[in-house]
Chain A
Amino acid sequence: MIGVDVKLRRGDFTLAAAFASKARILALHGPSGSGKTTLAHLVAGLAVPDEGHIAVNGATLVDRAQRLFVPPEKRRIGLVFQDALLFPHLDVKTNILFGRFFTPKAERRVPFEAVIETLGVAHLLRRRAGALSGGERQRVGLARALLCSPRLLAMDEPMASLDYDRRQEIMTLIERLRDEFSIPILLVSHAADEILRLADEVISLEKGRIVAKGLPSETLAAASRHIEGGRFSVVSALEAHVGAYDTRYGVTRLAHPAGEIIVAAHVANGDRQVRVLINATDVALAYHKPENTSIRTVLLGRIAAIDEDESPLAFVRLELEGGGKLVSATTRLSVAEMNLSVGAQVYALVKSVALDERELGAGA
């Protein structure tokens, strides 16, 4: 779907990245200054690489060796920006139809009504772009990018300026776009939860270089040990069966072969699988099941790997009883003093669990 091999130098910053991916949603992840936005701009044609080539869906967009450079207006890469960047002098409808106007009739394969319906922007069409809230702006921005029937949607931190609820809403919409319009998506994001939920594949960048590439659940942990504050962005995803909702305490019990998972929320519709997200920093390890502790979620597993090097931090990856992977962020000191080693059986004490709102099976 997308093939990139580029080099770019701008002052002190050098970007050198080569990858190919067939993922439906490919995430570019990394701290600010890692080059992920530059990479998206190179794909969209807003920057020119010094060397290399870029191809999307079989169409070569840049090839420096052949002096080929397709200008951005001919690439049909739908760009979605962090702050939406709607045209402030136009109303919402004209904004949405802007790209469609320039799309050749034969290429207009994304229907207007379907986009309006999916993104729920019908009631906004007559409003001025400047009068929208953050979430509304982003939905209009998505509609605008979609209606030029792009080869690829490139989203640059599309949820970074939204609050929690709006982010969940936009993530659901991105999943629906992926499933209903089958357009591949390049998602630039620094937020692990977004990538874990949305991406099929992730490329981790640091200082202009690719440091890891692979499944989000495995790649993010390996890359983030080296990033300051990175341990806070390592998240594990687990699937569990919805059990009883305890009305007295407002918690829902989920069944997992490795132990009971308590979610401090009401999970509707019993008898189905849901996904929960667990921050690596919320997972402690113990050899024995503790008796007197406030922690309710205790999962049994076996140590599959220990990631550590000279940094004080270590990530312990567990293979849970009955399947499922869980990462615990700890220190090298703990690993040494507890004498943790691969293969050892441990209990994971999980302090807090967040429910992933994604519908399971809706397109995976």
Chain B
Amino acid sequence: MTLSDIAPSLGFSPQEMTAIVLSLKVAGTATVFSLPIAVFAAYALARWRFPGHTALNALIHLPLVMPPVVTGFALLLLLGRKTPLGAFLAEYFGIVFAFRWTGAALAAAVMSFPLMIRPIRLSFESIDERLAQASRSLGANPLWTFFLVTLPLAAPGVIVGAILGFAKALGEFGATITFVSNIPGETQTIPSAIYSYTQTPDGDADALRLAAVSAAIAIGALVVSEILQKRADATRAGK
């Protein structure tokens, strides 16, 4: 039994179901690909002092303060089909972002990145740096030290970051609709579908149902992240 089989019994139309599944796919892809980058960037910002430290930090947080439409527009200017970079990626790697679900995933990843990186960076910063020194003195090189000591200790923050990023990616709207438009079955995520329903007469009931789904996922994610945070605090307290 698949999700689309049980969809009618939940009162979802095939189009709504498509939007829900697509949203999960977009947000999942965005999270999977941006998490390793977020972990690396968070570690670099927390532990290294390098030229451009402040600039990198500002760049990462830019999507948080810029209007989402502007971020989407910037992506379009950078990665649209006819731009040099977009054409290059399409020709040599077969990767097309414009007006595809992959583009929706990219927009979601960019927009959720600042939210994802914050808890990860904070948990790296809260780890005693001398633990890494102890690990080095015991024979572990920097890479082993990172994977055996630093990353496991930062794991709660990484999980919280992933959950927050996933929830934010699910709700991304402005940059997505600007960058990849609102094509049912390809780029129409839950927020875009809600927007479409609100623009049609008698669409309010449908919009409300999807809004409820959206809220349920978001609240669920927050609850899970809260539980993990509590458990991590308990571990750190030595229980």
Contacts and interface: CB of A to CB of B under 8 A. Distances in A.
The answer to whether A binds B is: yes
Contact of B137 (A75, A101, A103): A75
B236 A99 contact: no
A183 to B, nearest CB: 14
A46 B136 contact: yes
Interface in B181-239: 235-239
B139 A85 contact: no
A102 B237 CA distance: 29
Interface in B113-148: 128, 130-131, 133-141, 144-145, 148
B152 interface: yes
A310 to B, nearest CB: 40
B138 A99 contact: yes
Contacts of B140: 73, 98, 102
Contacts of B237: 130
A202 interface: no
Interface string A142-174: 001100100000000000000000000000000
Interface residues of A, number: 28
A54 to B, nearest CB: 14
Contacts of A102: 138-140, 144
Given A81-B130, A102-B144, A128-B238, A89 B137 contact: no
A76 B139 contact: yes
A79 B238 contact: no
B195 to A, nearest CB: 45
B153 interface: yes
A167 to B, nearest CB: 22
A45 interface: yes
B77 interface: no
For the residues of A in contact with B, the DSSP-based class is mixed
A44 B130 CA distance: 13
Contact of B236 (A72, A78, A88, A98): A88
A328 B83 CA distance: 87
Contacts of B128: 85
Contacts, number: 72
Contact of B235 (A72, A89, A98, A103): A89
Chain B CB count within 10 A is highest, among A44, A71, A77, A85, for A85
B153 A73 contact: no
Contacts of A144: 138
B238 A103 contact: no
Chain B binding surface SS class: helix
B138 A85 contact: no
A131 interface: yes
A99 B139 contact: yes
Given A85-B130, A128-B238, A130-B238, A79 B141 contact: no
Nearest to B144: A102
A87 interface: yes
A88 B134 contact: no
A296 B61 CA distance: 75
Given A87-B149, A103-B139, A131-B238, A72 B144 contact: no
A98 B138 contact: yes
A44 B238 contact: no
Contacts of A45: 136-137
Nearest to A101: B139
A101 B128 CA distance: 22
Contacts of A128: 238
A88 B238 contact: yes
Given A85-B131, A88-B236, A102-B144, A148 B138 contact: yes
Interface string B90-109: 00000000000000000000
Contacts of A148: 138-139
Given A85-B130, A102-B144, A73 B137 contact: yes
Nearest to A46: B133
A101 B148 CA distance: 12
Nearest to A107: B139
Top 6 A-B pairs ranked by shortest CB distance? A102-B139, A130-B238, A99-B138, A79-B137, A72-B136, A85-B134
Given A45-B136, A76-B139, A98-B138, 18 more contacts: A73-B140, A73-B145, A79-B138, A81-B134, A85-B128, A85-B131, A87-B134, A87-B149, A87-B153, A89-B235, A102-B139, A102-B140, A130-B239, A131-B238, A131-B239, A145-B138, A148-B138, A148-B139
16 contacts: A45-B137, A46-B137, A73-B139, A74-B139, A77-B137, A79-B137, A85-B134, A87-B153, A88-B235, A88-B236, A89-B152, A101-B139, A103-B139, A130-B235, A131-B239, A144-B138
